[in-house]
Amino acid sequence: MPFTGDGGWGKATLLSKKHIGNSYTIYEFALPKSYYKVPLALGQTLEFCCLSSNDDICTGSFYLYDGDTYGKGGSVGVVRVVLPNDKGADEGNAQFVSLLCFGLI
């Protein structure tokens, strides 16, 4: 996926949420083109950014989750992250996680 936006940003859209028990949720984001892929090396994170309803910038840095295609070279057209439902469990990303959990993104 090309990251040509200001500062090397690209756009993604929240596509779905899938709860895993009571503790975690998988968030799936659609990339702008169905054939795009985000080629990260092991241990790299992807930085997410959005605006809150108060126009505050909320960011989160997450490892991508690729549970459905493990060992097949990664997902195409989407990126997924697994986040705790307990917003306090991930202090550094708390604002971003709160927006996702309350459906504000």
Average pLDDT per consecutive 10 residues, the chain (105 residues; last block may be shorter): 70 87 88 85 82 77 72 72 71 64 53
pTM: 0.75
CATH of the domain at 61: 2.40.30.10
Residue 21 within any structural domain of the chain: yes
pLDDT at position 69 is: 52
pLDDT at position 74 is: 59
Structural domain of residue 58, as residue ranges? 13-101
pLDDT at position 5 is: 64
Residue 91 within any structural domain of the chain: yes
Total count of domains within the chain: 1
* Residue 85: closest CA among 27, 7, 2: 27
pLDDT at position 72 is: 52
**Phi and psi angles of residue 58, each rounded to the nearest 5 degrees, phi first:** -120, 130
Residue 69 within any structural domain of the chain: yes
Residue 67 within any structural domain of the chain: yes
Residue 96 within any structural domain of the chain: yes
Residue 86 within any structural domain of the chain: yes
